Amino acid sequence: MKNNNDLGLDTVFRPRTVAVIGASARAGSVGRAVFKNLIDADFSGTVFPVNPRSRSVCGVRAWADINAIPEEEIDLAIIIVPAAATPEVARQAAAKGAKGIIVISAGFREIGTAGRKTEDQLLAVCRENRIRLIGPNCLGLINTDPDLRLNASFAKRTATPGHIAFISQSGALCTAVLDFAARRNMGFSKFISVGNKADVGELDLIRYLHKDPQTRVIMLYVEELRHGFEFIETVREVTGGDNPTPILALKSGRTAEGAQAASSHTGSLAGSEEVYDALFTQSGVFRVKTIEELFDYAQAFATQPRPRGNRIAIITNAGGPGIMATDVTINAGLKLAHFRPETTAALKEHLPAAANIKNPVDVIGDARMDRYRDALSAVLADDNVDGVVFILTPQSMTEIEATAKIIPPLAHGSGKPVVASFMGLMDVSRGAEILEKNNIPHYFFPEAAARAMGALYRYSRWIGREHIQEINLDINQDTAREVIKNALKKGTNYLGEVEGNRILAAYGFPVLPARFAGNAGEAAAAVEEFGPCAFKIVSPDIVHKSDCGGVRTDIRTPEEARLAFSEIMETAGINSPGADLQGIYVQKMAGTGVEVILGIKRHKTFGPLLMFGLGGIFVEIFKDVSFRLAPIRHNGARHMVESITAFPILNGARGRKKCDLAALERCILSLSALATENPEIIELDINPLIIHPEGRGCAVADCRMLLRAPLQKMMDS
């Protein structure tokens, strides 16, 4: 089914014949609301109400069951009957040829085990009959296509045609969104309440809407997603491939997962919000925090071209709002354009002497339409200008409507994005309406306008991002798998640095030379060979090695080595009586550098999450870390490194030495491969990884891993 170009979704979005099973004339009933919405929207196909107890519904001939309908095939069945009856009703619909079903009714998975069983039965019927199912437990969907006019929902308001698609996991939000949209003259292409997502979820809809010629931007409201890597792979192409469709997402609701006690640094920091942030970032989905932002940005994305660069011109008739917009412009990663001499000359010619002809251009308070027009023409014609923020505050001479009217033709003719803010004391609503209806996004505050421009630019950067050349990693997967298999065979699920380093070495990590020493002589020989070393007790019974006197560092000579060996064995024996003391892990001391931490935490739904940050207080107190879902590419590794606040410390800020970032990126890619290829690893901390100055590489100084096993011992933090 998924091989079809339309994913089988055309039957739900573009049916010719629709049966409403459970249609009703009863005031206030959902069955009535759905049926009336279909009829009132002037649907271009045919709707058949199905109701065993009525001969007609709202004046339309009704049928006792779907089979009674005197039509050869029904494309879409909308079902509003008690949950328990839905599997049977779906079967009847299938017999009548339906390839799409929308189940509005509630009473499924959301109510517990019994409901989940019903949902599974319903889904099984749909799968058997190659039917795509929307819902259950949803508001329905709307397709505003003027040739079709399908309102298959019980929303109290309808959507006007436009270019924004909205996918919502909350039916309640749908109603609010339609309300909000109407007041801002926003139109929708499709509007889908996904409900429990038994079959059709966000991913299929995104694929479908990406190909929908009516849809220019997708707004997403989600509470939980159920795909990790597949989501990233698919959506990355939608948002950043050919003919890209921007996606804005508002994610609400957290799971309790993040609150579980975690034993590693990575485990404790990698909650589900971090997973979603990573998921959206890696997919090129723009995550917003409020419904307001969702609308603000959708308006801009649906109507404006992407800016080619970040050089913005601001035009205003009042200084204060110009300053506000300037501040936000700069904060949003944009900059004020420097005008070409021709532009400055044109502004000088058309504007009065008191005007400011530099950016932000101030046409001053007594400007009528003509000054605004001349200023806008001039800056839009300037090659140094990538977009315009247009501000108007109504003053006594201001021509609100006339000024609003000049913007759309100039803006659309220029190929550059223009956003506007008409604000002030007098009523600007007519002006705002002219703008909105003519595809110029309008914002109440100049800050919001500038922020929307910043969002457009951020999306441009995603589209135009450079793809760094991938690195060939030298991986010996077999060795790693063997270490893991042996450990699990022995019933161990905690791996310390002895086995951990073997696995890391197999994945190309620069592990420091080390050797197990069973006696003082072997320890001395190792020091002679490696130079200054760290000594760490090896015992399956000791997790907190430092606490029992099991660690010594900077052992420099064979003599020191012999002494240290016996002292450690003795002290550890006293502090951990009965422990099996096997010997000492002798490891070359790492050179100086900046300490970072790398980690893995595997999430049930989304797979392994990678973590990177600076070690010590930076991770403990500032939580200054970045996350990505594995697998990642070179781009992802670089972004992980560059996106922490402390990045300047690695990058040679304030007279520091620049660290070997290439070596660090390679380690992060190795980490990604390790996480992807070894599903047994559920948590891992490499802490610290020491990054030496540029050209000198890096070194793993300590690591620990937790494997998936029946008995999960807590890791030592």
Least distance from a copy of itself to the Cβ atom of residue 185, Å: 15
CB of 645 to a copy of itself, least distance (A): 6
Select from 123, 173, 420, 584 the one that contacts a copy of itself (CB under 8 A).
Answer: 173
Environment class of 652 (CB within 10 Å of its CB; exposed 0-12, middle 13-18, buried 19+): middle
CB of 312 to a copy of itself, least distance (A): 16
**Binding of residue 196 to a copy of itself (CB under 8 A):** no
Residue 711, CA distances (Å) to 280, 498, 503, 538 in order = 34, 21, 21, 22
Compute the distance between CA of residue 701 and CA of residue 681 in angstroms, rounded to an integer: 19
Compute the distance between CA of residue 200 and CA of residue 134 in angstroms, rounded to an integer.
6
471 binds a copy of itself (CB under 8 A): no
User: How far, in Å, CA of 366 to CA of 225, rounded?
Assistant: 53
Q: How far is the CB of 598 from a copy of itself (least distance, A)?
A: 20
Site membership for a copy of itself, residue 137 (CB under 8 A): yes
Applying CB under 8 A, does 145 fall inside the site for a copy of itself?
no
Nearer to a copy of itself, 166 or 565 (CB): 166
Residues in 368-397 that interact with a copy of itself by CB under 8 A: 395-396
The 215-234 contact track toward a copy of itself, x by CB under 8 A, reads --------x-----------
The residue from 81, 111, 488, 662 that contacts a copy of itself (CB under 8 A) is 111
Residue that is written with structure tokens 């937790």 in the block: 706
Please answer whether residues 80 and 153 qualify as being in contact, where contact means their C-beta atoms are separated by less than 8 angstroms: no
What distance, in Å, lies between the first and last C-alpha atoms of the chain?
A: 49
Residue with tokens 């004391």: 425
Per-residue x/- marks for a copy of itself, 24-63, CB under 8 A? ------x---------------------------------
| Other beta carbons less than 10 A from residue 616's beta carbon | 14
CB 634 within 8 A of CB 701: no
Q: Classify 609 as helix, strand or coil.
A: strand
Q: Which of 253, 413, 518, 531 binds a copy of itself (CB under 8 A)?
A: 253
For 219, other C-beta atoms within 10 Å of its C-beta total: 27
327 versus 642: smaller Cβ distance to a copy of itself: 327
- Give the x/- contact pattern for a copy of itself in 274-313, rule: CB under 8 A: ----------------xxx---------------------
Report the residue number, 130 or 658, with the smaller CB distance to a copy of itself.
658
* From candidates 252, 476, 553, 557, binder to a copy of itself by CB under 8 A: 252
Angle at 350 between CA 349 and CA 356, to 5 degrees: 90
DSSP symbols for 111-165: G-HHHHHHHHHHHHHHHHTT-EEE-SSS-EEEE--TTT-EEEE--SS-PPEEEEE
Q: Cα angle at 40 between 38 and 42, to 5 degrees?
A: 80
Binding mask 642-661 for a copy of itself (x = CB under 8 A): ---xx-xx---xx-------
Contact 698, 664 (CB under 8 A): yes
Among 117, 444, 498, 525, binds a copy of itself (CB under 8 A): 444
Name the site residues for a copy of itself (rule: CB under 8 A): 30, 82, 106-107, 110-112, 137-139, 156, 170-173, 175-176, 193, 195, 223, 252-256, 258-259, 290-292, 318, 320-321, 323-324, 326-327, 354, 364-366, 395-396, 423-428, 444-445, 447, 617, 620-622, 624, 645-646, 648-649, 653-654
